[in-house]
A and B are shown apart, each in its own frame.
Chain A
Amino acid sequence: MAHTSKSKAFRLGLLVFIALVVLTVVEFFLAVYLNVWLLLVIVALCKAGLVIYYYMHVYRLFQADTTLDRNSYAYKLATNRLGLWLFLVSDSFVFGGLMVARINLLGLTHPHLEQTVGLIVTSVLLVSSFFMNRAETAIAHGKRNQFVASTAITLILGIAFLVGVIGVEWRIAPFGPADGAHGAVFYSMTGFHAFHVFTGIIFLAIVLRNGLRGCYSSERHWGVEACAVYWHFVDVVWIFYYPALYLIGTVIE
């Protein structure tokens, strides 16, 4: 019985990942051939919805308490979840504000960027989200080794994303932060996002280290869950930022 629920959870994670990949491919070709901003927004919303529901488990917020003992782990866990989600709501106002700045200043144009790099970093972050989900599912079912391996892969992919954005894209972009509104918008949006990826990497490193020392169990792994929810949140932000910076509208030089 336990075995079937375990494999079910892993299979669900994989299915959601495949759906996200398909949607990303669809998004890319929609942008290339049609470039209707509304369609891209709809695809992004679908992707975000999948991540928020299946990877971030937003429904856990609305589950009734199993215990009324205020000092119990279960009750505190639910309180912590609420706190984390409130933080994410607050944080999304920062990213939303930057998006407003982008819409206001650039409208239906986007900066001149290398599409391959954009697609690669987006895929890297997407794959990292899959492994993050796998790590959380693994620890929830007591598979320590798989948890450690998946966390490590997520960490490496996170670093790869940062290298891709900061090390490659920022270097090869034909404009600097001081070059007009598109420079300001591009560097601030990717910069704020990269800062969150960076904090997420630190969080992952802490989780990995504590995981190696055996601090988490299938019953008690709030640290892993918090890290996973935060990491997926950073991914959700990129789900909107990628089309906003790379796909929507025409290129401005």
Chain B
Amino acid sequence: MKVILSLGLIRGLLWQLLGTALGIGFFTLVRALLGLPSWEAEPAIVVGALFGALFFLLGVGVLNDWLKWAAGEPTEDHVDDSHLGWRRYFGPSLDHKVIGVQYLVLSLVLMSVGGLFALLFRTELAQVQMQFLSLDQYNTLMSLHGMVMIISILMGIAAFMNYLVPLLIGAHDMAFPRLNAFSFWIAVPSAIILLSSLALGGFDTGWTGYPPLSVRAPIGIQMFLLGVSLSGFSSILGGLNIIATIVRMRARSMTPFRMPIFVWSSLATSIISLTATQLIGLSFQMVMLQRLFGMSFFDATKGGNPILFQHLFWFYSHPAVYIFVLPGLGIISELLPVFVRKPLFGYRWIAMSSLGIALVGFLVWGHHMFTSGMAEYLRVPFMYSTLLVAVPTGIKFFSWLATAWQGKISFETPMLFILAGIVVFLLGGLSGPPHAVVSTNLHLHDSYFVVGHFHNAMYGGFVFPFFAAIFYWYPKITGKRLSETLGKIQFWLMAPSFVIMSLLMMRIGLLGMRRRIADYEPAFGFEPYHLIMTIMAFLTALGVVVFFINVIYTQLKGQPVTGNVWNSRSPEWQVPSPMPVHNYERELIVVGEPYDYGSPGSRYVKFVGEA
């Protein structure tokens, strides 16, 4: 019991409960003192949730050092808490490797939750008419699936950026370790707030939360808006930290064009998440304000403009897709040369293409609004800017093909996932331009074709590279190697069934299936397609279950591995696994190009004092 209470997470959750109750009580008391009718559910719950999040942070103890600074007391840098063992993963550790694992676990938990939601409403869709979900439940699950998965992806990329960026650039930690811990821990109460919308009547807006529907939705939407706004801070501050780390903490001899590609893609991602994320937070907060105080930003009858919400929302939410995929594409570029034993083709072009996607990504949001009543003259500029994204993305594909060309390819599990990522992202990429082109967009808008395209982009750009990265760096993180057999079973369960599912999504979308709806017209004959898609979704989920079995099996039965498992040139593999607490004992010196695989005798890095 004492051990359990000493865990920051448990303390935080208890404090959050306490804080929520206090917030609701405080708000009601203030109203009573002001002589207003003392109970009003919606603002009370919002205040309670805000208090809960703040109390969670206090309870975890992630604010302690800042409070000490404010009080003018000294704090200790580089705390070695490795003596705590497994317990430090549940507390406010400042070690970027611990925080990376924390992000990873949170990402997998949220992915399981979001996946479960998807399975529930996918099963409902397998047959026409409603079987076991009510329409409201369907809408809530469908909406939450979107946002829970998005936050899971943000946590997943943060996991690898946190774990890898300092290691790849030879730093001992992130530039701001306390901010790093804060960025992670703010995400936990926000995820809880987000999921609490299930208990508060849910909501029916989809993950986009467009007004006026979101202004009329049940109270659950407030928790959705607040949870997303708060978890946005995780992304913003995480991005800030990554940029500062890359700029200030690189090994002295690592010039920008000798940084590993993953660092470049992390930089590009962080530039977007640092800036654009504020606008989804703002647009959601404006909806919250409209609901709480009647401020008519989006109420056309009182001088507001609902299209304004869509502009603010998509200014983040389109670049957000590049936040999700750029690290994954970076992982593909990072791992591909290792498994084909050839230099990465066109290093500089790849590095610049990440930045190119990030910057062009800021100019394309209008293509989500071709049917929304946006000024018509804006359609063509947004069409061309969107099509322009295909150029830097095409550079990446060209490089991957040229890298793999005539290589000595070996098909370990990470490589399988990398290849699946490339193929699936290509499907997602090729189904993109039809949405960019105005004429086809008007036909495809709000159809299942969009759903298919989006899931292809996410699986190719995030899910498959994410699993590749887990399989690849698992020995570095834990000192044990995941089972290849189980990994291959997982791959063959996930990849083909996912491809079938997404192609069918696009097929029925072209035939006229609308997205987001709970029921469909039997006469269209979509039922068999939906049944197959549901079966494929379950097979994909089974693959994830196999992954969890693999992790448990490896932790219990796996043999320790310490060496350079994949024969990589990257600096983190030149030291024993698992990674030492303070990363590199001696300073890193860059002596060659990062990806010169196959040229005998060449090295990327050595350590001070090494021959």
Bound form: Cα–Cα A198–B122 in Å: 48
Tell me, rounded to whole Å, the shortest Cβ–Cβ distance linking B349 to chain A. 27
Do A82 and B297 touch across chains, with their CB atoms under 8 A apart?
A: no
| Interface contacts beyond A82-B244, A82-B248, A100-B312: sample of 18 additional A-B pairs, CB < 8 Å, sorted by A | A70-B249, A78-B248, A82-B175, A83-B176, A90-B236, A93-B275, A93-B278, A94-B278, A94-B279, A97-B278, A97-B315, A101-B297, A105-B305, A178-B296, A181-B304, A184-B295, A185-B297, A188-B289
Do A91 and B278 touch across chains, with their CB atoms under 8 A apart?
A: yes
Tell me, rounded to whole Å, the shortest Cβ–Cβ distance linking B154 to chain A. 16
Point out the residue from A98, A180, A210 that lies within 8 Å of B303, measured CB to CB.
A180
Bound form: Cα–Cα A105–B298 in Å: 9
The 4 closest A-B pairs by CB, nearest first: A178-B294, A181-B303, A184-B295, A93-B278
The reply to whether the CB of B549 lies closer than 8 angstroms to some CB of chain A is no
How would residues 206 to 241 of chain A score, 1 for a CB under 8 Å from any chain B CB and 0 otherwise? 100110010100000001000000000000000000
In the complex, chain B residues 51-72 whose Cβ is within 8 Å of any chain A Cβ: 69-70, 72
The reply to whether the CB of A249 lies closer than 8 angstroms to some CB of chain B is no
Query: Which residues on the B side are within 8 Å of A91 (C-beta)?
Result: 278
Bound form: Cα–Cα A82–B243 in Å: 9
Pick from B69, B303, B311 the residue with the most CB of A within 10 Å: B303
Please list 27 pairs of residues, one from A and one from B, whose beta carbons are closer than 8 Å in the complex, sorted by A's number. A83-B240, A83-B244, A86-B243, A86-B244, A90-B274, A91-B278, A93-B275, A94-B278, A94-B282, A101-B286, A101-B312, A104-B305, A104-B311, A177-B294, A178-B293, A178-B294, A180-B296, A181-B296, A181-B297, A181-B302, A181-B304, A184-B296, A184-B297, A185-B297, A187-B295, A188-B297, A210-B72
The answer to whether residues A90 and B240 also contact, given A180-B296, A188-B286 and a CB cut-off of 8 A, is: yes
In the complex, chain A residues 82-137 whose Cβ is within 8 Å of any chain B Cβ: 82-83, 86-87, 89-91, 93-94, 97-98, 100-101, 104-105
Bound form: Cα–Cα A181–B295 in Å: 7
Bound form: Cα–Cα A163–B326 in Å: 46
Tell me, rounded to whole Å, the shortest Cβ–Cβ distance linking A96 to chain B. 8
Bound form: Cα–Cα A13–B27 in Å: 44
Bound form: Cα–Cα A90–B249 in Å: 21
Point out the residue from A83, A182, A209 that lies within 8 Å of B175, measured CB to CB.
A83
The reply to whether the CB of A79 lies closer than 8 angstroms to some CB of chain B is yes
Bound form: Cα–Cα A94–B285 in Å: 11
Query: Which residues on the B side are within 8 Å of A98 (C-beta)?
Result: 282
Query: Which residues on the B side are within 8 Å of A94 (C-beta)?
Result: 278-279, 281-282
Determine the residue in chain B with the shortest Cβ distance to A185: B297
The reply to whether the CB of B564 lies closer than 8 angstroms to some CB of chain A is no
Bound form: Cα–Cα A68–B283 in Å: 43
Bound form: Cα–Cα A126–B181 in Å: 36
Tell me, rounded to whole Å, the shortest Cβ–Cβ distance linking B286 to chain A. 7
Point out the residue from A86, A183, A213, A215 that lies within 8 Å of B295, measured CB to CB.
A183
Do B295 and A178 touch across chains, with their CB atoms under 8 A apart?
A: yes
Query: Which residues on the B side are within 8 Å of A101 (C-beta)?
Result: 286, 297, 308, 312
A-B contact number at CB 8 A: 103
Point out the residue from A90, A180, A184 that lies within 8 Å of B278, measured CB to CB.
A90
Bound form: Cα–Cα A181–B308 in Å: 12
Query: Which residues on the B side are within 8 Å of A184 (C-beta)?
Result: 289-290, 295-297, 304
Query: Which residues on the B side are within 8 Å of A206 (C-beta)?
Result: 70
A→B interface (CB under 8 Å):
68, 70, 75, 78-79, 82-83, 86-87, 89-91, 93-94, 97-98, 100-101, 104-105, 177-178, 180-185, 187-188, 206, 209-210, 213, 215, 223
Bound form: Cα–Cα A100–B393 in Å: 31
Query: Which residues on the A side are within 8 Å of B315 (C-beta)?
Result: 97
Do B72 and A215 touch across chains, with their CB atoms under 8 A apart?
A: yes
Query: Which residues on the B side are within 8 Å of A181 (C-beta)?
Result: 296-297, 302-305
Do B302 and A180 touch across chains, with their CB atoms under 8 A apart?
A: yes
Tell me, rounded to whole Å, the shortest Cβ–Cβ distance linking A234 to chain B. 16
Bound form: Cα–Cα A78–B308 in Å: 39
Bound form: Cα–Cα A93–B273 in Å: 11
Tell me, rounded to whole Å, the shortest Cβ–Cβ distance linking B368 to chain A. 17
The reply to whether the CB of B252 lies closer than 8 angstroms to some CB of chain A is yes
The reply to whether the CB of B442 lies closer than 8 angstroms to some CB of chain A is no
Bound form: Cα–Cα A183–B302 in Å: 10
Query: Which residues on the B side are within 8 Å of A185 (C-beta)?
Result: 297
Query: Which residues on the B side are within 8 Å of A82 (C-beta)?
Result: 175, 243-244, 247-248
Query: Which residues on the A side are within 8 Å of B295 (C-beta)?
Result: 177-178, 183-184, 187-188
Do B304 and A209 touch across chains, with their CB atoms under 8 A apart?
A: no
Tell me, rounded to whole Å, the shortest Cβ–Cβ distance linking B543 to chain A. 37
Determine the residue in chain A with the shortest Cβ distance to B245: A79
The answer to whether residues A182 and B275 also contact, given A82-B244, A94-B281 and a CB cut-off of 8 A, is: no
The reply to whether the CB of B276 lies closer than 8 angstroms to some CB of chain A is yes
Query: Which residues on the B side are within 8 Å of A178 (C-beta)?
Result: 293-296
Bound form: Cα–Cα A187–B315 in Å: 23
Query: Which residues on the A side are within 8 Å of B294 (C-beta)?
Result: 177-178
